[in-house]
């Protein structure tokens, strides 16, 4: 399974984008701002391709998708949330954008998680590409 985040707008407050699953639009994304130098807990995921695995998250107390081997980062997850206050370098998902906020995040996350969990359960590898839009 290939996930792709196309960053549509990298602003001072948040980085907004769209997430695709095997080239089909899935939901919107929100991350911390992109920065030339990493500020822990306040910087968007670097552009690139990362393996995704679902593991237990001690912080959240549940299974969540983890982006593996992100340079300079650890514990990067995909999870529900509405604003940059809800992320510390993680990728938030939602059904709708409202300025620099995501709406119906849990609905979007639950739908995405089911697809990822099914793929992992069937032994299918999952990768995510974080890319710039033109």
CA dihedral 81→6→107→115, nearest 10 degrees, is: -120
Q: Indicate the SS3 state at residue 105.
A: helix
Domain coordinates of the chain in residue numbers?
2-132
Residue 11: phi and psi, rounded to 5, are -105, -175
**pTM score, whole prediction:** 0.93
Give the tokens for residue 132: 């710039």
Q: What does the pLDDT look like over 96-130, one tens digit per residue? A: 999 899 999 999 999 999 999 999 999 999 999 99
Q: What does the pLDDT look like over 10-67, one tens digit per residue? A: 667 899 999 999 999 999 999 999 888 888 888 999 999 999 999 999 988 999 999 9
């Amino acid at each position: 399974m290939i996930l792709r985040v196309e960053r549509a707008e990298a602003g001072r407050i948040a980085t907004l984008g769209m997430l695709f699953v095997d080239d089909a639009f899935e939901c919107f994304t929100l991350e911390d701002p992109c920065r030339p130098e990493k500020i822990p807990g306040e910087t968007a995921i670097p552009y690139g391709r990362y393996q995704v695995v679902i593991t237990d998250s001690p912080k959240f107390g549940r299974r969540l998708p983890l982006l593996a081997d992100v340079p300079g980062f650890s514990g990067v997850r995909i999870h529900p949330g509405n604003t940059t206050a809800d992320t510390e370098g993680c990728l938030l998902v939602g059904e709708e954008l409202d300025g620099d906020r995501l709406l119906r995040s849990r609905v979007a996350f639950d739908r995405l998680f089911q697809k990822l969990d099914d793929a992992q359960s069937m032994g299918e590898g999952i990768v995510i590409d974080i890319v710039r839009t033109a």
